Amino acid sequence: MRALLRLASFAPRRQASSSRFLVDKFDRHHTYLRISLTERCNLRCQYCMPLEGVQLSKPSHLLTTPEIVKLVQLFAQGGISKIRLTGGEPLLRKDLPEIVGHLKGISGIRTIGMTTNGVTLHRTLSSLQEAGLDKLNISLDTLEERKFEFIARRKGLRHVLRSIDEAVQAGFTPLKINCVVMKGLNDDEISSFVALTKDKPIDVRFIEYMPFDGNRWNFSKFVAYKDMLSAIEASHGDVVRLENDYNDTAKSYKVPGYTGHFGFITSMSEHFCGSCNRLRLSAEGSLKVCLFGASEVSLRDALRSGADDAELMSLIGMAVKKKKAAHAGMFNISKSKNKPMILIGGLFSNLSIRLFSSSQLSHLDSQGKARMVDTSEKEITQREASARAVVHLGKSIYDAVKENNVKKGDVLSVARIAGISAAKATPSLIPLCHTLGLSYVGIEFHLREVDHSVEVVSVVRCADRTGVEMEALTAVAVASLTVYDMCKAMSKDMEIREIRLLYKKGGKSN
C-alpha cells in the first residue's frame, strides 16, 4: 500500500507583478520566461526533433544579445523575475557567459537558470557561475552508454556524468536532472535514476513523453507518472510527498533517508495549466504563451521595425491575454500542428540532413546501380531484432477481437501465422535482403483498451553474418495488415500506425 506523507498544504501562493500586461484573462501572473538562445544542438535526440531534420533559421533571423537584453528588460518591468536559458543547446552560443551577466544585472531579475544536455558543460561551468548562473537542469534519459547513443544519436554519456558531478561540487543544489520516460526504451531505468538521489543533492524529474511535430509521438510509448511512482515504490519502498509551490511544474517526492529527491512533470496525464506562469521566447524572437500552442508573435520583427517600448509591451500583453485556459490534451496535441521541440526551446535541451555520394551508399555500386552487399567477410554472430506496430481498431472491432467474435475467425492467431510466414519470406519481398536461416520468429499481441488498439510486437533471431531487423519489421507489418483484412468487413475505419524497429542485437553496430 502506498504511504504518502503530505508535508504541507497546497494553497495557491502568487507573486504580485508590477504590471498587469503579463496577467492573462484567467488571472495567471507570468513571472517566468524561457529563452531559446540557439536552434543548434550537438545531440540529435529522437523525441526532440523529426528524423528528416529541421530547417534552421538564418543567423540574421536570430535575436542578437542586445535584442535579448532589451526584451528581458521589458518583461522584467511586467513582473518576470525568473529566466531560464534553453536551446537547442545553449552552450553552443559562444557569448553565453556574457548573456548571463547582462541578464543578471537587469532590475527585477532574481534567478538565471539554464537547461543543457551537459555534454560540454564541464568546460564552461565556472565562467557561467561567475557570470551569475543560479540554477541548472541537465537533460539525461539513460545511464547506459549504448542506449544513450541510440536516443541521442551521438556519444557523450561520460561527459554528461562528469558535468553532473562537477555541477554538484560547484554548489548547484539541487541539481535537476530531466529524464523523458518512454515505454520500452528507458522505463526500466527509473529506479536507477532514483538511486542517484541517495547520496547526492540531485532532483531527478521524470517527464511524461510529450507530442511535438515530427517526434512520432505515440500513446504506446507513454508512461503515466502514477505507473512510474509504482515502479519506484516497488524497488525503493514507501516514499514521501513533498511540498510544492503554486507554480511548480513537478510533483515532488523523496525516499526517506536519501539526500536528494525526485518528481514528475505530468504535462499529459495531469496538466498544470491552471497555475502556468511561463512564457517562451524562441531563438528567432517569437513569443509563445503556451508550449503546445501553434500561435506565435514575432517580437523580433516589431523590435527591428522600430517599435518603441510601449508598442512592444502592448504586443506582448495582447499575446498573453489570448492564452487559453489549458492545452488540448495529449491525444488532440498529437494531431495538431506545432514546431519540433528543437525549434521551440521546450523542457529539454538539430538534425542536419546528410547527403551522400553514390560511392558511400552500400547498396549502390560506383556507377549508381543497385547491388547486394557482400557479407562473406563478416563474422557469424547471434543476431536478434524486435519491431512493433499498432493497429487502431475502434471500440466495436476491438471488442469483437478481444472476445474472438469476428466472423472470419481467430484474428490474432491468423495474424501471428501471417507474421511468422512473412518474416521467413522477407528476401522475396524486400529487394537486396539476404536469405537467412532464422532460428526463431515470435509475434505477440497486446490489446489496449484505453485507445481500442492492438499492439503487435515481433522478435526474430538467427546466427548469421547480417541482421534480422528487416525480418522483424516485415513480420509486424504483415501481421498488422492481416488484422486489418480479417476485420475490414466490420469497418474500414482502422489505422495502422508507427511500424518501427525497437532494437537490434549482434554484429558490429549491435
Instruction: Assess whether 399 carries a catalytic annotation.
Output: no
Residue of 92, 159, 165 lying closest to 119 (CA atoms): 159
Task: Tell whether the model's pLDDT for residue 479 goes beyond 70.
Answer: yes
Whole-number pLDDT of residue 19: 63
What CATH number does residue 130 fall under?
Answer: 3.20.20.70
- Does any domain span residue 15? no
- Residue of 188, 301, 485, 493 marked catalytic: 485
Give the span between the Cα atoms of 296 and 330, in whole angstroms. Answer: 20
Query: How much is the pTM?
Result: 0.60
Whole-number pLDDT of residue 330: 41
Give 31's pLDDT tier (boundaries 50, 70, 90).
very high
Whole-number pLDDT of residue 338: 44
**For 42, how many CA atoms within 13 A lie in the half-sphere containing its CB?**
17
Q: What are the tens digits of pLDDT across the range 320-362? A: 888 877 644 444 434 444 444 444 444 433 322 222 333 344 5
Query: Cβ(160)–Cβ(140) under 8 Å?
Result: yes
Whole-number pLDDT of residue 42: 83
The residue with greater pLDDT, 102 or 277, is: 102
Boundaries of domain holding 435 = 380-505
Mean pLDDT, all residues of the chain = 82
Q: What are the tens digits of pLDDT across the range 96-146? A: 999 999 999 999 999 999 999 999 999 999 999 999 999 999 999 999 999
- Does any domain span residue 7? no
- Does any domain span residue 112? yes
Whole-number pLDDT of residue 498: 85
- Last residue in a domain, options 287, 320, 343: 343
Cell matching residue 228: 512510474
Whole-number pLDDT of residue 433: 86
Residue of 56, 346, 44, 391 lying closest to 210 (CA atoms): 346
Q: What are the tens digits of pLDDT across the range 402-442? A: 999 999 999 999 999 999 999 999 988 888 888 888 999 99
What does each C-alpha distance from 138 to 21, 159, 238, 438 come to in angstroms? Answer: 32, 12, 27, 43
Give 219's pLDDT tier (boundaries 50, 70, 90).
low
Q: Are residues 182 and 48 in the same domain?
A: yes
Task: Tell whether the model's pLDDT for residue 88 goes beyond 90.
Answer: no
Q: Are strands 111-116 and 82-86 parallel, antiparallel or unpaired?
A: parallel
Q: Are residues 302 and 393 in the same domain?
A: no
**DSSP 8-state code for residue 211:** -
What CATH number does residue 438 fall under?
Answer: 3.30.70.640
Whole-number pLDDT of residue 213: 42
- Does any domain span residue 467? yes
Number of domains in the chain: 2
For 376, counting Cβ atoms within 10 Å of its Cβ (0-12 exposed, 13-18 middle, 19+ buried), the class is exposed
